[in-house]
Chains A and B, each alone.
Chain A
Amino acid sequence: MKTNDIILQTTTKVVVFIIILFSIFIFFKGHYTPGGGFVGGLLTSGAIVLLLLAFDMKTVAEILPINYIYMTATGLLFAVGTAAGALFFNVPFLTHAFGDVYLPILGKTSLHTATIFDLGVFLVVVGVTMTIIQTIGGDE
């Protein structure tokens, strides 16, 4: 029997963007309040899994030609890099730096190196989750 998933596919096309936007929001929200790279990453992978459900693995691989293993490694590099950056300033490992910077348009913004660390976490979470799901889903 041929399944009819036009409703799912049409909704997915819209919803995926909402989820990804929300995950970015959560990612930045995590700076001072609950949220952050881990939850954000899970949400983003949730969006990609939705795509996988609505379409098939081949289509998704065409839309997002990402090697998730490299993505994980890149995330790890970000995280370790931020942590190890402390070595150059001779402060204990993992010590972060922060400060208020004046940016055009955004105005006075407080920037924190923890955000880069969190970006690493985000990438690792998406990379690992998607690798696992694709490996299991790829088995026929």
Chain B
Amino acid sequence: MINFLILPILIPFLTGILLIFFAKNVSLSRWIAGISSFITIIVSALLVQKVRVDGIQTLDVSNWQAPFGITLVSDMLSALLVLTTSIILFTCVIYSFKTISKEQERFYYYSAMNFLAVGVIGAFTTGDIFNLFVFFEVLLMSSYVLLVHGGSKIQLRESLKYILVNVISSALFVITVAYLYSVVGTLNMAHISVRLSEIGESGIVTVIAVLFLIVFGLKGAIFPLYFWMPGSYYAPPAPILALFGALLTKVGVYSIMRTYTLFFLNDKDFTHQLLGILAIITVIVGVIGAIAYSNIKKIVIYNIIVAVGVILFGVAVMTPESLTGSVSYLIHDMIIKAALFLLIGIIIAITGTSDLRKISGLIKRYPGLGWTFFIAALALAGIPPLSGFIGKLLIVQEGFKEEHYWGAGIVLMSSLLVLFSIMKIFINGFWGTPQAYKDEEAVPVRKLLVAPVILVIISVLYGAGSEFVLPYISQAAETLSNPSIYIEAVLKE
């Protein structure tokens, strides 16, 4: 079936529409949302396997041949990210059953979640730079809805900032695409790559590269464009926070990865060095934030920034192994960040606060929660054999090999500090004297634990089964380090 790669976009889309009709019937919409996101996982897993066996899948939408129409491209990187996205969607949906109030669920909550997934999966799948913008808009619209959903004071304040930042960055995105179009005269990403390599080194292309870095950097929260993130992500409830933290910034990171490996290869000395420097500063800033705060939400939010830096450093180094590391770390980070945010959501639900100083001794009464958190924390820091280790190892190793001693050293140091920042939560929050909290009886901890436990198990398997996973990851990285594979698959030359 030639349309197979569009199914992961189509299923959440149809679900989102159907859920508008059934929004008032909460239990029915829960069933629909849960089942459809599970089907999406299966379909995306099949897609990954198909890409593994048959190579890159492309679809010329509406039967316009590439490069004239819009082409959807599923290479291994995009297929893996789509699979990860659908897993996170599923876990966030089942987590929402017990955390979001019925009143809120009625207000098209699951529809917005599904539309968000459409945007994210679409952005991962598209092979057209303008279509990428369109899917960015789809996911942004849904994220506005989700951010303000619930309508508490802090959410209204933060969503105003969030919308402002994103409207500006979207405008900049269109301007940049227009620039690029005026230079190369095409929007198909593979075709752009061909044309740009014909042009060779040129000032305007470097300008476009930097503009793209600004646009995607704003979404992906790199230094110095991360300023909006700690505030905005702090506002929404846990499942939405998990969706945002795991998916939205990663779309920005993916776009940087794609454009910097496919388009801007002529002036690497400038563009990739800039990316590398910014990535390293991002790591430093993130680590400082993660250590400085004693608010558990903030700590994990700043850890997103660290991870973004680490992944992009791997992209900046630009060797096949470092790209493998980046891809591996990207997928690991999506899973583990979602798990951590969901776990933190449970802690906040139990204690009623996100201030670490007011929490202690949780492990005595909630051992399951404690140990899940412990494993997630170790995985985040990249302790072998958990996930995150392989990715970071490859990135650091290649960094040293390519003589980026400073960068690789800082990434290495950052792991230690990340471990410290997250262990701070464990030591202060879980150890110590148990306290009694108001309303803790009402929290269905066991049921809530299902979603993060699924994610942590996946993360452990992902790390322990590296032997099995690595061929997929290196296939993804191969396309990145050798753009001609991608170009040939799309343009069928």
Chain A residues near B (Cβ < 8 Å): 69-70, 72-73, 76-77, 80, 84, 86-87, 90-96
Contacts and interface: CB of A to CB of B under 8 A. Distances in A.
14 contacts: A70-B20, A73-B21, A76-B20, A80-B10, A84-B14, A87-B3, A90-B1, A90-B3, A92-B59, A92-B62, A92-B63, A93-B59, A95-B63, A96-B62
A96 B61 CA distance: 11
B3 A93 contact: yes
B60 interface: yes
B6 interface: yes
B2 interface: yes
Contact of B20 (A69, A86, A91, A93): A69
Given A73-B17, A96-B62, 11 more contacts: A69-B20, A80-B10, A87-B1, A91-B2, A92-B61, A93-B3, A93-B10, A93-B59, A93-B61, A93-B72, A95-B63
Given A90-B2, A90-B3, A77 B59 contact: no
B144 interface: no
B226 interface: no
Contact of A86 (B3, B14, B72): B3
B354 to A, nearest CB: 32
Given A84-B10, A86-B3, A92 B20 contact: no
Contact of B62 (A73, A90, A93): A93
Q: Is the interface of B mostly helix, strand, loop or mixed?
A: helix
Contact of A92 (B2, B10, B14): B2
Across chains A and B, which 7 residue pairs bring their CB atoms closest together, nearest first? A73-B20, A94-B62, A95-B63, A76-B17, A92-B63, A93-B6, A87-B3
B133 interface: no
A92 B59 CA distance: 7
Interface string B8-32: 0010011001001100000000000
Interface size class of B (residues with CB under 8 A): 10 to 19
Q: Which of A73, A76, A77, A91 has the most CB of B within 10 A?
A: A73
Contacts of B13: 80
Contacts of B2: 90-92
Contacts of B20: 69-70, 72-73, 76
Contact of B17 (A80, A91, A96): A80
A80 B3 CA distance: 14
A77 B17 contact: yes
A70 B61 CA distance: 28
Contacts of A76: 17, 20
A90 B6 CA distance: 12
Nearest to A87: B3
Q: Which of A70, A76, A86, A92 has the most CB of B within 10 A?
A: A92
Q: Which of A70, A91, A94 has the most CB of B within 10 A?
A: A94
Contacts of A93: 3, 6, 10, 59, 61-62, 72
A137 B394 CA distance: 57
A92 B4 CA distance: 10
Contacts of B62: 92-96
A92 B17 contact: no
Contacts of B61: 92-94
A91 B60 CA distance: 10
A64 B17 CA distance: 23
Interface in B39-70: 59-63
A52 B10 CA distance: 37
A124 to B, nearest CB: 10
A132 B301 CA distance: 33
A83 to B, nearest CB: 9
Nearest to A72: B20
